[in-house]
Amino acid sequence: MSGQEQDLSSYPPFFLHQSESVRTVEPKDSIPPISDEPDPIPCIDLQHLNPEEIGKACRDWGMFRLVNHGIPMELVTQLQEQSMKVFSLPFEDKQASLQSPITYFWGTAVLTPSRVALREKVHKMSRIEGIRARLDLLPQMTTDDPMFISFRNLLEEYGKHTAELTRCLFEALRKNVGIDHALSKPYLSEDRGFLRLYRYFPCSKPNKEEGISAHTDSTVLSIVNQDQVGGLQVFKDDRWIEIKPIPNTLIVNIGGMFQAMSNDEYKSAKHRVMNKQKERISICYFAAPEDDAVIHSTKYKPFTYKDFTAQVQEDRKTTGNKVGLQRFKPT
């Protein structure tokens, strides 16, 4: 089998049997121009955190670029390479093998069920013990397979770095907005955090097909590690701005839960991913509160993360869209 045939066999059959015009996503609203100016995203140095700088970034943008984050570049490169190997497995093998708690998805996004997204993802919860147990049980992920041994080890190491990084950032942001340390422990739960590895499929017309449509994240913080292909965009000042892929940097998003915790001082950034002419790998960690942690805010009625996610699912079923925090505004 040739390399090209092997690559095609890893794609969901839908994309092999549909013309590009059929699977092209055309948003209902017109797309504002994409900025081609030098990267304007605020840059924050983890080793020299300045409360005023990180606060301004979160108020003005709802996201920032993080440098000197402590995750080894070699680890990131290896995880990206191993992720591509897993995504390049035949489609039927991925569907059969990657099941809960490590799950495989493709195509239609839960954010917009009526649209077909040109991407696939592997999802896992952040608890390393559960990951190891499941990998050992999967038929094609036995300890005799060097690729999956390497993949498992890389996931474990990356997870440890990301968990430590998230705790550090949350502590800095918590202090900035005055969240009581004694009350904040359930606001960040390593057990509820999750990692998603995305592969975005190529398209012949860049910025015409959505890998993921415009949305804000529901969690506390999101940490995005994108490869050098690009495609991540943020909406600010009535335009979409391309977030340039800069090696050895991370993009940190404020999630809806932290927006509520901060009494709307920090806003969750609206962002999307547009497919490019090359495949793109993205490694995303989402930090979440405990399910029953009550979020207290002067802007919203008290609610739990479990309440919020249940309401989001209900809104998606009934309206086709995520309504989000607006549902919890005082009446």
Q: How far is CA 34 from CA 26, 31, 48, 194, 244, in A?
A: 16, 8, 32, 30, 12
Name the pairing type of β-strands 63-67 and 43-45: parallel
List the one residue out of 156, 155, 152, 158 whose CA is nearest residue 71: 158
Active site residues: 280
> In the 3-class helix/strand/coil scheme, how is the chain assigned residue by residue?
CCHHHHHHHCCCHHHHHCCHHHHCCCCCCCCCCEECCCCCCCEEEHHHCCHHHHHHHHHHCCEEEEECCCCCHHHHHHHHHHHHHHHCCCHHHHHHHCCCCEEEEECCCCCCCCCCCCEEEEEEECCHHHHHHHHHHCCCCCCCCHHHHHHHHHHHHHHHHHHHHHHHHHHHHHHHHCCCHHHHHHHCEEEEEEEEEEEECCCCCCCCCEEEEEECCCCCEEEEEECCCCCEEEEECCEEEECCCCCCCEEEEECHHHHHHCCCCCCCCCEEEECCCCCEEEEEEEEECCCCCEECCCCCCCEEHHHHHHHHHHHHHHHCCCCHHHHHCCC
